[in-house]
């Protein structure tokens, strides 16, 4: 079982506007309301790929109750930690003509040390039934990066495989805690290392440098250009096929993460796991909702994806 922890989940209000231009009046757009947060998107994709994920993290208020209702309708398993605060709402405007999306993320509710103490207790309890624990996304305001790092260390000490997909201060705290693996994109890696990471060659160098900080496995994504992975067993590059019609790439990183974690949990080889990860990330771009794609779409893209050892 995969325990997917999202410290700062939300509700995504997705508006599809072909040819979107700021300042225009938009009438009768196609809209979707989706339970969201990077770890929720990851769990949604992981379930499509055959895994058995459980979502955890903070929820609260009216939007928190809506979030629970939406995940229940989807059939996602959950183990939330309840807050006396309001879960955030994020707005996504997807331009299907250009294949790009504008994302407006609220900061999320302010949490206390007592809130984090309850979350740690809940996560450690649920992790007793999990082989893999993943952490996705940002930390809500008021969070202690020290406590976040300590939770990762406690899970590692308990023998769990811990994977982290984050950025900024949360990523720095995770790196210091030395989880099993991290997944970053070029911008996130560049912010940590202080230099641009744009090409696959630069990505391999950056992933190798991050791994030297005591991480067993580092995966680094570069969008449609593909991804790299570095571990003690070697280095790999993988690329998906070029897609003809992109709806929204929001959630593609989460779907990549789902493909990686679910494949490794299933005991697949590293090269196969990376190839499945890039295929899942690409399949996500065919849908408006983050982490949502059809198994048939994934299979078709996987058949055209390539992976090679470097």
**pLDDT per position as a tens digit, 69-113:** 999 999 999 999 999 999 999 999 988 888 888 999 999 999 999
- Name the strand (E) or helix (H) holding 136: strand 132-136
Q: Which among 95, 122, 165, 254 is annotated as catalytic?
A: 254
With 90 as the cut, is the pLDDT of residue 26 above it? Answer: no
Which of 157-171, 176-190, 237-251, 270-284 is the least confident region? Answer: 237-251
Burial of 284 per CB tally in 10 Å (0-12, 13-18, 19+) = buried
With 90 as the cut, is the pLDDT of residue 289 above it? Answer: no
β-partners of residue 90 are 12
> Can you give the pLDDT at residue 81?
98
The number of C-alpha atoms within 13 Å of 26 and in the hemisphere containing its C-beta is 15
CATH number at residue 16: 3.40.1190.20
At residue 288 the predicted structure's pLDDT band, cuts being 50, 70 and 90, is confident
Give me the mean pLDDT over the 152-160 stretch: 98
Q: What is the mean pLDDT of the chain?
A: 96
Domain count, the chain: 1
Residues 6 or more apart from 70 whose CB is under 8 A from it?
A: 11, 33, 34, 35
With 90 as the cut, is the pLDDT of residue 24 above it? Answer: no
**pLDDT per position as a tens digit, 181-223:** 999 999 999 999 999 999 999 999 999 999 999 999 999 999 9
What CA–CA distances, in Å, run from 34 to 7, 26, 194, 198, 274?
Answer: 17, 21, 35, 31, 27
254 counts as catalytic: yes
**Where on the phi/psi map is residue 168: left (φ > 0), alpha (ψ -120 to 50), or beta?**
left
- Sign of the CA dihedral running 39, 45, 47, 50: negative
Per the structure, the complete domain to which residue 82 belongs is given by 2-309
Distance CA(43)–CA(262), nearest Å, equals: 9
């Amino acid at each position: 079982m995969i325990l997917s922890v999202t410290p700062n989940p939300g509700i995504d209000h997705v508006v599809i506007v072909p040819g979107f231009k700021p300042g225009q009046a938009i009438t009768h757009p196609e809209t979707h309301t989706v339970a969201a947060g990077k770890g929720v998107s990851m769990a949604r994709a992981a379930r499509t790929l055959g895994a058995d994920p459980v979502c955890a993290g903070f929820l609260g208020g009216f939007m928190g109750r809506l979030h629970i209702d939406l995940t229940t309708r989807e059939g996602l398993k959950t183990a939330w930690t309840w807050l006396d605060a309001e879960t955030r709402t994020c707005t996504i405007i997807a331009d299907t003509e250009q294949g790009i999306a504008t994302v407006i993320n609220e900061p999320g509710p302010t949490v206390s040390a007592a809130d984090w103490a309850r979350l740690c207790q809940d996560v450690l309890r649920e992790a007793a039934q999990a082989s893999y624990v993943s952490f996705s996304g940002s930390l809500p305001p008021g969070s202690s990066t020290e406590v976040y790092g300590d939770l990762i260390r406690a899970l590692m000490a308990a023998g769990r495989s811990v994977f982290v997909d984050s950025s900024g201060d949360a990523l720095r705290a995770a790196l210091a805690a030395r989880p099993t693996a991290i997944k970053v994109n070029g911008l996130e890696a560049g912010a940590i290392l202080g230099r641009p990471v744009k090409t696959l060659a630069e990505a391999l160098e950056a992933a190798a440098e991050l791994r030297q900080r005591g991480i067993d496995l580092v995966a680094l994504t570069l969008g449609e250009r593909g991804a790299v992975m570095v571990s003690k067993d070697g280095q790999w590059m993988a690329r998906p096929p070029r897609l003809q019609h992109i709806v929204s790439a929001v959630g593609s990183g989460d779907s990549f993460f789902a493909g990686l974690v679910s494949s490794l949990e299933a005991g697949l080889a590293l090269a196969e796991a990376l190839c499945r990860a890039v295929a899942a990330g690409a399949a996500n771009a065919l849908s408006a909702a983050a982490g949502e794609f059809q198994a048939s779409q994934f299979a078709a893209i996987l058949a055209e994806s390539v992976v090679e050892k470097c």
